Amino acid sequence: MSTASIYRSVQGQAEVLALYEQKLASLAVETESRMVETRFGHTHVLAAGLPDAPPVILLTGISTGAPRILEWFLPLIKDYRLYAPDPIGQPGRSTQTRVPPGNQNYGKWMVDVLNGLGLERLPFIGMSFGGGILLETASYAPERISRAALIAPAGLTRVPFLSSAVKFFIPCLLYRYFPSRERLIGAVQPLVGELDDYSLQVFDATLRHVKLNVPPPGPFDKETLAGFKAPTLLFLAKSDIFIPVEPALRRAKELLPSLTAVEVLEGPHIPPKPIWKYHAERIGMFLKETQ
């Protein structure tokens, strides 16, 4: 297990974490900070909502951080206690130890987090990389998930290498070595639905300071997900450069026998605010449905 820093410099680490703290301070709700121990190292979890409300786990995308996904799903706190872990080995307050790929390790990490929080069986919401963690938890410990909402989940289908390299990875590499505002906007525009100043700052700091070679969970097959029976809601995006709709739909129908609904929405991988608002409303209805 590697203990090398995920950051390229101490100064870069400070810049990335300052943006994390800025977003956390901007949240319009009271949050609780928890630290739990796992077999891969300590994990930080943000919680919001009434302590005695039904719990829900929020799993964020790569290098996004718990405050951002908590912000996206704040409408749910009127009914739920939201728990948002900082993924281990990514920017945030959790340990920098990378989770070794394969062997259902993200599922094992997630079970350790649940045990540390004293949570047994509950709904999960997973976005992008966090959706891959949700699926790996479903393969390792399906009994811990009562309902699942997946938003453009990693691991469902393979990323189209050539088109994503041309549209995103190569422009990101060019920006890192030849930074300019135009290159930054050009690099991230295919990925996001809105480019506010804070998002640009996060992408800038992440591309310059964070080592991003993190293999996503999966890929998954029928055998590894055979025990997962929880009702599942899937959101896909029409302009997603990482998860093409048609292959993802085919794989979802093959792998998720309890897939109850699929919604294909306009926009790219990271949607704009109106879509996030719809996600929260639709998932709120989904969580209240009876099995």
The model's pLDDT over 105-139, given as tens digits with 9 standing for 90+, comes to: 999 999 999 999 999 999 999 999 999 999 999 99
Residue 232's nearest CA partner among 278, 160, 291 is 291
Q: What is the pLDDT of residue 98?
A: 86
Where b means 16+ CB within 10 Å and e means fewer, 194-204 reads eeeeeeebbbb
24 Cβ partners below 8 Å, 6+ apart?
A: 31, 46, 67
Band (pLDDT 50/70/90 cuts) for residue 290 is: low
**Secondary structure of 126-187 in the HEC alphabet?**
EECHHHHHHHHHHHHCHHHEEEEEEECCCCCCCCCHHHHHHHHHHHHHHHHHCCCHHHHHHH
Q: Could you give the 3-state DSSP secondary structure of residue 252? A: helix
**Is it the case that residue 291 has pLDDT exceeding 60?**
no
Counts for the chain of helices (H) and strands (E), in that order: 10, 8
pLDDT beyond 70 at 69: yes
CB neighbour class for 238 (10 Å; exposed up to 12, middle 13-18, buried from 19): exposed
**Would you state the pLDDT for residue 1?**
47
Tell me how long the chain is.
291
Return the pLDDT at 275: 93
When the pLDDT of each residue in the chain is averaged and rounded to a whole number, the result is 93
Query: What tens digit of pLDDT does each residue of 271-284 get?
Result: 998 999 999 999 99
- pLDDT tens figures, 190-243: 999 888 899 999 999 999 999 877 788 877 888 889 999 999 999 999 999 999
Q: What strand order describes the sheet that includes 81-85?
A: 31-38, 41-48, 81-85, 55-59, 122-127, 145-151, 232-237, 259-265
The 10s digit of each residue's pLDDT in 154-190 is 988 888 888 888 999 999 999 999 999 999 999 999 9
Tokens of 104: 């259902």
The span from the CA of 278 to the CA of 53, in Å, is: 22
How many other C-beta atoms lie within 10 A of the C-beta of residue 116? 17
Instruction: Please check whether residue 94 is in contact with residue 42, taking contact to mean a CB–CB distance below 8 angstroms.
Output: yes
Q: Catalogue all structural domains in the chain, each as residue range(s) with its CATH number.
A: 10-288 (3.40.50.1820)
